[in-house]
Amino acid sequence: MNRFSLYILLRIILMIVTIMVGCWLWWNSYQLVVILVAPLLLVQIFGLYYYLNRVNRKLTLFLEAIRYEDFSIRFSGDNKLGKSFSGLNHQFNEVLEAFRQTRAEREANLKYIDTIIQHISIGVLSFDTDGKIELINPAAFRLMGIYRLRYLDELKNAHPDLSELLMQLPAGQKSLYATQNGQQLSIHAATVRLQGRLVKLISLQNIHAELQQKELEAWQNLTKILRHEIMNSVTPIVSLIGTMQEIVKYDMATPDGDHTEAVEDLKEALETIESRSKGIMNFVNAYRDYTTLPKPQFTNVNLKQLVNAVSNLLLPEMKAAGIIYRAHVSPDNIEIHADETQLQMVLINLIKNAMDALEQTNKPWITVKGTLGNAQQIVLEIADNGPGIEPEAMERIFIPFFTTKKKGSGIGLSLSQQIIQMHGGQLKVVSPPSKGTTFYILLNT
């Protein structure tokens, strides 16, 4: 028998003895003495009740320790009362120790994350739906040129439009913001729900140097292209003009001679000049088309009807070239918010590029497939079994006026990419060597 049970038994026996003594004194007319015995009996009853509620008090203390995260408490005072009490105390202590370790790990992780946030060069801030700042790091202060911020509205003095932009920027979206000191901030938004509250997390990154570098590279590429195209046309024109001058000066100098051959040479030279001049005009028109693309006029477009319209337009030409063509859209009711004419232009361009790539391919085929991808993203896939794109050309195919074809302006893919980007989507290409080419148009529903 453990000590707890023995103590209970002894207390009960003592109470019985006290009651018996009280009864004996009552029957023997010692009522005054009974009045003295009664408080003793009450003390014994209260002591037994308090002793029996030891476990409840311990459980209450244990739960309070968890509630207030006071894990320094240890249960061991009544281990001598028996194995059950010792085992209970041990389990209580084990649970509190587990909570203590969990809290220590959590605090260490929070400290680690806070250290990272405070030292990274990317600005980070978070705020609630009322615009109250909950977190902000030194990089965010530095990028915005301020030294303290409690509410987003306080930004209006330094950055009049920034607070409204941060509040309205949807989660998962990006935006660019030009500060008054010339910085270009890339802003990315995310939202999290903490204990039922919606909190928006914003990251700020200065990409001014990167934009300048990209702008410089773009101008350099454009200059190379313009120089190449103009020199290709102007050089032969200048040469031909010199030749024509020589013909006029020497071959046609005598008024009575036979000038038939000289006239023919002049006609040929003029035709060549006309052809090269038209080439320059076509190049300028292509450049104008690229730089003056109109904004999309968005409507609800059924994807299957769009693909069928383009297929019917190009199918006779593909049959004449012996190309096997398949188009499939599933499900049939996929709708996109887009400019139908511009998307038709993109599809026609991609399919025509595939047709050009299949000129030397045996049993050529082209497939167009439209499906719903992850996160309700629409995927249009245009695939062919042509020779593929050379690795060195893969990085340049979307550069304006770059082309690997003998004929063509090199503007089609860059225009297609621009159109898809204006629709909020992406144009990607996969082309393993000698294994065909697949273009992917990714659009949001």
Closest alpha carbon to 126 in 145, 95, 151: 151
> What backbone phi and psi angles, to 5 degrees, belong to 148?
-155, 155
Residues 420, 426: contact at Cβ < 8 Å? yes
Tell which wins on pLDDT, 417 or 391. Answer: 417
pLDDT of residue 77 exceeding 60, the answer is no
Structural domain contains residue 114:
no
Instruction: Please indicate, yes or no, whether residues 426 and 308 belong to a single structural domain of this protein.
Output: yes
How many Å apart are CA 382 and CA 344, to the nearest integer?
13
Share the mean pLDDT of the chain: 77
Residue 251 lies inside a defined structural domain of this protein:
yes
Domain final residue, candidates 49, 70, 101: 101
326: confidence class by pLDDT, cuts 50, 70, 90: very high
Place of tokens 């605090």: 107
Identify the CATH number of the domain in which residue 309 sits: 3.30.565.10
Q: How many domains does one find in the chain? A: 4
17-31, 41-55, 278-292, 406-420, range with the lowest pLDDT? 278-292
Tell me whether residue 349 is in a domain. yes
Domain final position from 273, 291, 309: 291
Statement to judge: residues 404 and 352 lie in one domain = yes
Read off the CATH number of the domain in which 142 is found.
Answer: 3.30.450.20
Range list of β-strands (E), 137-252: 174-178, 184-194, 197-206
Quick one: 305 and 430 in the same domain? yes
Identify whether the C-beta of residue 90 lies closer than 8 Å to the C-beta of residue 78: no
Residue (of 86, 55, 61) closest to 73 by Cα position: 61
Residue 68: phi and psi, rounded to 5, are -100, 10
- For residues 85 and 142, membership in a common domain is answered with no
* 34 & 58 share domain: yes
Same domain, 379 and 408: yes
pLDDT attached to residue 403: 62
Does 116 reside within a domain? no
Q: Model pTM?
A: 0.45
Residue 314 sits in the same domain as residue 430? yes
Q: Do 192 and 216 belong together in one domain?
A: no
Considering the domain architecture, whether residues 33 and 168 belong to the same structural domain is answered as: no
Q: Residue 113 domain-assigned?
A: no
Query: Within 10 A of 33 (CB to CB), how many other CB atoms are there?
Result: 13
The string of pLDDT tens digits covering residues 269-287 is 677 666 666 666 665 665 5
Which range of 101-115, 281-295, 349-363 scores highest in mean pLDDT? It is 349-363
Structural domain harbouring 155: 121-206
Degrees, nearest 5: CA angle 193-199-202: 125
Shared domain check, 125 and 86: no
Answer yes or no: is pLDDT of 20 > 50: yes
Residue 106 lies in a domain: no
Q: Are residues 438 and 325 in the same domain?
A: yes
Are 406 and 356 members of one domain? yes
111 in a structural domain: no
Report if residue 110 sits inside a domain. no
Name the domain boundary from 206, 231, 261. 206
